[in-house]
Amino acid sequence: MRILVVADIHANWPALEVVLQEPHDVCLCLGDLVDYGLDPAPCVEWVRQHATHAVRGNHDHGAAQNVFVQGKAGFKYLTGVTRAITRERLRPDQLRYLGRLPVSKTVTLNDSRFLLVHASPRDPLDEYAPADVEFWTRRLQHIDVEVVCIGHTHHPYVLTVGEKLVINPGSVGQPRDGDPRASYAVLEDYKVELKRVEYPVEKTIATILQSELSAADQEMLCEVFRRGQSALLNGHRGN
């Protein structure tokens, strides 16, 4: 069984469309379908119709519940300026879908138990979980699964923690590790491959430039997508 693991799509349909060309039997989606990018509807609809299992991210929760975000800088600021557009571009049933996604899910695939969460087992929506074995050793106490799949950090990694495997596929739609290519993971026969793929980022940029965002906000967002990070946003994790 070939398992495609994706996270942090962030309404970047051109990126998701390319990632989905990866052959797979099962797709696991680890949340944050929306915000930042401005093509939320096709991303939500694809996950809704085709992902085998999906969980809710903090941005999915915020968009569904119409949580007002007012940040003065960084990614929290960009969340605030794109949230209203996200909600305008989603139908009520799509917003309900986001709000009804589980915050965690345990599934069995190929006789292995998987825990799916967006952030961490302790705090499924918001905790930032680094690629640190000591951190994960504490978090995985009393977690009775073989594989834990998380997103949220926008940085891909794979860790072996005791007899457990931790997989973070990185971000499909908004990488933040200096590599702007879409990031995802493929798991087959208990072997994980972290993969990167180029996508037509200018299509993502064009959608931003055609939006009602201010010129300064458009510039900031475009820089993030083109560079896979932003000098303007350094030090502002936000997620």
pLDDT class of 230 with cuts at 50, 70, 90: low
Over residues 66-72, mean pLDDT: 88
Tokens of 196: 């990167």
> So what's the pLDDT on residue 78?
95
% of the chain beyond a pLDDT of 90: 91
**Positive or negative CA dihedral for 156, 217, 45, 53?**
positive
- Full set of structural domains in the chain with CATH: 2-103+170-233 (3.60.21.10)
pLDDT, mean of residues 67-73: 86
pLDDT (0 to 100) of residue 232: 53
pLDDT at 72: 82
Q: Range with the lowest mean pLDDT among 83-87, 205-209, 230-234?
A: 230-234
> How many Å apart are CA 56 and CA 104, to the nearest integer?
8
Q: In this predicted model, which residue has the larger pLDDT, 70 or 116?
A: 116
| Dist CA 133 CA 148 (whole Å) | 13
Q: Is the pLDDT of residue 203 over 60?
A: yes
Rounded to the nearest 10°, the torsion over CA 176, 137, 123, 59 is 20
* This prediction's pTM: 0.95
Determine the Cα angle at 145 with ends 125 and 149, to 5°. Answer: 40
Region 191-200: mean pLDDT is 98
Backbone angles phi, psi at 73, to 5 degrees: -155, 170
pLDDT exceeds cutoff 70 at 186: yes
- 234 or 139, greater pLDDT: 139
- Model confidence at 107, pLDDT cuts 50, 70, 90, reads very high
What is 100-150 written as a DSSP string?
HS-SEEEEEETTEEEEEESS-SSSTTT----S-HHHHHHHTTT---SEEE-
Q: For 175-201, what is the mean pLDDT?
A: 96
The per-residue pLDDT of the chain, averaged, comes to 95
Whether 8 shows a pLDDT value over 60: the answer reads yes
Determine the pLDDT at residue 233: 55
